[in-house]
Amino acid sequence: MSSPRSPSRRMARLIARHAARSMPPQRVDWALAIQHEFEHLPHDAPALRWAFGCLLASYTLRMLPMHRKLSASSRWVLTLEMLVCLVPLTWLFGAVVIAVVRGMVPSAAGVLFASAALAGPVGLLAAVRTITLNQGTLGRITMVVLGVLAAWTFAAMTWQCLRNHTPIADWWRDFVLIALLPCLAIAHLSWIAFSREMPAPRSPAAT
């Protein structure tokens, strides 16, 4: 058993107390559970890791209700956000596909470019599903696919801008509209899906 007065233990205790205080008010019993459990940990290093984990859990539980359910107004805002962020990339995807079909672009280059723009239409479909399903969530496979597509879009479009020495004045179009905003939109969709998976706080539970 390590000393309860060691600097590491004191820091861990401060973090654990802060974690307990950061819990939503409906979770007061869980806040006490975390704090009391900490007092039984025998060694400093596990206690510090435990305290940091509790802090993460508290912050997560505190933030989740903010994102759990889309109100009517926030649904309209989300719709607008998704249109602004994902329509330009979707339009680019369509243009590339049409160019390939008409033989205006070599097939290999066209397919590669289309894959880098695929996050647009796929993200838009996921956004429609998120907006229309008030409490449902995107599946984990969907979220992973979206994440991979977004990462690929970001890498490919950034590389394209750097390779072509795109003038800085045109980056808002070639980078911000085509790479950055779609990735942010997909990150937001993933966060909404993640937050809907987590438990909702309820009235104080008798335990």
Partner 1 sequence: MARDRRSSAPTLALFAALLERPRAWQYGYELSQLTQLKSGTLYPILIRLTDRGLLESRWQPSAEPGRPPRHMYKLTAAGAVFARDEIHSAAGSPHRPLSGAPA
Instruction: Give the binding site for partner 1 (CB under 8 A).
Output: 27, 29-30, 32-37, 39-41, 49-50, 52-57, 60-61, 136-137, 139, 198-200, 202, 205, 207
In the complex, minimum distance from the CB of residue 186 to partner 1, in angstroms, rounded to a whole number: 20
Which residues 6+ apart lie within 8 Å of 97 measured at CB?
A: 110, 114
Q: Which is nearer to partner 1, 28 or 104 (CB)?
A: 28
Angle, helix 119-132 to helix 181-197, in steps of 10 degrees: 40
Tokens of 73: 């107004």
Beta carbon of residue 58, minimum distance to partner 1 (angstroms, whole number): 9
Toward partner 1, which CB reaches closer, 10 or 140?
140
Q: Of 62 and 75, which CB lies nearer to partner 1 in the complex structure?
A: 62
Task: For the CB of residue 155, give the shortest distance to partner 1 in the complex, in Å.
Answer: 25
Please give the Cα distance from 39 to 45 (Å, whole number): 13
* 50/113 with CB nearer partner 1: 50
Look at the block and give the residue holding tokens 């590669």: 112
Please, what is the end-to-end C-alpha distance for the chain in angstroms?
30
Nearest distance in Å: CB 37, partner 1? 5
- DSSP string of 165-176, one letter each residue: T--GGGHIIIII
Query: What single DSSP character describes residue 5?
Result: T
Which is nearer to partner 1, 37 or 170 (by Cβ)?
Answer: 37
CA distance 106 to 203: 61
In whole angstroms, the minimum distance from the beta carbon of 23 to partner 1 comes to 10
